[in-house]
Amino acid sequence: MSGTPNWRDLVVTMDDRSLDALALAADATVESLRETTSGPRSDRAPAAIRALVRSLDICPDEPTELATVLADFATAAWTHGVVPSDPACVAHLHPPTLQPAVVTELAIAATNQSMDSWDQAPAATEIELYLMEWLAGLIGFPDSGSGVMTSGGTASNLLGVTLARSWAAANAGVDVLKTGLPPEAADWRILCSDQAHFSVHRAAAQLGLGRDAVIVVATTSSGSLDVSALDHELQRLESAGRRAIAIVGTAGTTDLGAIDPLTEVAERARRHGAWFHVDAAVAGALLLSDRLRGELAGIELADSVTIDFHKLWWQPFNASALVVRDEARFELLRVRSDYLDRGDELEGMVNLVGRSLDTSRRFDAAKVVVTLRTLGRCALSDMLEHLLDLASYAGSMIAAEPTLELVATPTLTTCVFGAPGASADDLRRVQQRLLARGAMVLGRTQIKGRAALKFTFMNPLTSNEDVERLVGMVVDELRAAVGS
C-alpha cells in the first residue's frame, strides 16, 4: 500500500538515524504536554470527555502523521486528565513524577529489556538484583535478603502471601504448587487489621484459601492494629484447632497512614510459627529519613516487605517491590520451563522469572536507580519530611476550624476529617462539586462507618499557603452544600 510508512523509520534501533528520529518524536511529545489543564482536572463532564475521546479514529486503514496523532492526543487525553503536580490534586496516593525517572522511561521503552530471563536482560537483571539487595539492607535484612520488582502493592502483597502459603505447605511436607492445597489448608488463617489493604483478602481468594480465611483484627483510634485484639484472635484460632499461617502488618494505611506496632506483631508471628509480611507500600519511604525511620521499628523482623516506589518515591506507575529476608524462599514458587528457566544456566546467571508471578516484565528498576543516584537520599528525605509536615499543618488548621473535625491526628501524608452536623451526603456533594468544577480532586472515604473527607499530600512543591487555600475551599463548599 502506497500510504504505508517506511518500517525502517518506525522501528527503534540503536543507530544514529533512529535515535535522532526518536529525539524528534520525544520533543513533539513534550510539546503535546503543554496543553494540560490549568487546574487539577478540567471541568468537562464525563459524557463530554467520552465523546471527545471517541471522536478519535483509533486504527485507521491508512497511516496518520505522528505529529497529528500527538496533537489529537493532547486535546483528547492530556488536557482532560488529572494533574498530580497541582496542589489541589489531593485525593489519592497519586504522586507527581520526578524528571530523572520520566526521561529514563524513554530508555526503558526504547531498549525493551525483558526481565524474565538473564539472556534477555543481562545488565538489567544485575541492576534489579543490586537495587533489591540495597533495599533489603535499607530495611535491615541480613545479607541473604533480596527481592523482585512488581507492578504494584497489590501484586507485591499477593506475592508475599503466596510465599507464606507455600511456606506453610512446605512445613507440612506438601508441594502446594504440584499437588494443590492439602486438607489441613481448610484451617489455615491469615490475620491483618481492619485497616489493611483489600489486596490481602484478594490474595487469599486467588490462592484458593478464600476471603473467609482472612481474620480481621480490630484497630485503635489511630488506625493501627490493636495488639490485645490480635492476641485474642490468635488464642481463639488455637482453641478452635486452626492455624495462623501469616500475619500481615501494615506500615501506612491507605486512609489514616497508621503504622502497626511491627515489633510486637513480629513477636506474635514468630511465637505462632506464622509468616510475617509487612505491607509498607505507603510508609516504606520513611526508611530514607533519619528522622522518620524509627517509625518502622520492627520491619527488619519481617519475612517479606512490600515497597511501592510509585508512591512516596515519586516514580511513574508502575514500580513496586517485594523484598524477602532470605532469597532462598523464592524457590517456594519456582517452576522450571524448557525454554526459559531451565536450571542449567551458566554460573552467575539469575532468571528473575523464578521470583516473579509475571513472566515478561519491564525494566522498572532502571528509573528507580537513576532517581536515587540523581537526587540522593538526603534530598528525597527532605521532600518526604516536608509532606509529613504539610499533613500536620493541615491537621492543625482543621482542628482550629469550627466547621471541620479531625478524624485522627495525621501520621503520614494524609489528613482525614469530617464536619460536625454534616451528613455523608453533604460530604459527598462537597467532594463531587469540587471535582465537577475542576477545582479540587479531594478524597472521600469511610473510617469505621463514619463518612469523611481526605487530603493526601504527595506533591513536594505544595506549600502551607496552598494548604490554607484548600481548607478554605472545603469550608466554603461545605457551607454551600449544607445550605442547599
Q: Return the DSSP state at 315.
A: P
The single-letter DSSP state of residue 58 is S
| Segments of the chain with pLDDT less than 50 | 1
Residue 67 CA, distance from chain mean position: 33
- DSSP class of 310: T
Q: What span, in angstroms and rounded, lies between the C-alpha atoms of 332 and 181? A: 14
| Residue 1 confidence (pLDDT) | 46
Q: What is the pLDDT of residue 182?
A: 94
Here the contacts of 403-408 (C-beta below 8 Å, separation 24 or greater) are 403/475, 403/478, 403/479, 404/471, 404/474, 404/475, 404/478, 407/256, 407/447, 407/450, 407/452, 408/221, 408/222, 408/223, 408/256, 408/258, 408/447
Give the right CATH number for 377-483 from 3.90.1150.10, 3.40.50.300, 3.20.20.70, 3.40.50.620.
3.90.1150.10
pLDDT tens digits for range 23-69: 999 999 999 898 777 899 999 999 999 999 999 999 999 999 999 99
Grid cell in block for residue 63:
497511516
Give residue 345's pLDDT: 86
- Give the pLDDT score at 344: 87
How many whole angstroms separate alpha carbon 442 and alpha carbon 391?
Answer: 14
Query: Residue 87: helix, strand or coil by DSSP?
Result: coil
**Residue 10 confidence (pLDDT):** 87
* Domain chopping of the chain, boundaries: 11-81, 113-375, 377-483
Burial class (CB within 10 angstroms; exposed 0-12, middle 13-18, buried 19+) of 321: buried
Secondary structure of 286-298 in the HEC alphabet?
HHHCCCCHHHHCC
- Residues 375-399 as b/e (b if ≥16 CB within 10 A, e otherwise) read beeeebbebbbbbbebbbbbbebbe
Among the listed residues 386, 406, 403, the one whose alpha carbon sits nearest the alpha carbon of residue 472: 403
Which class would CATH give 113-375?
alpha beta
Closest CA to 384 of 279, 261, 291, 465: 291
What is the CATH topology of the domain spanning 11-81?
PLP-dependent transferase-like (1.20.1650)
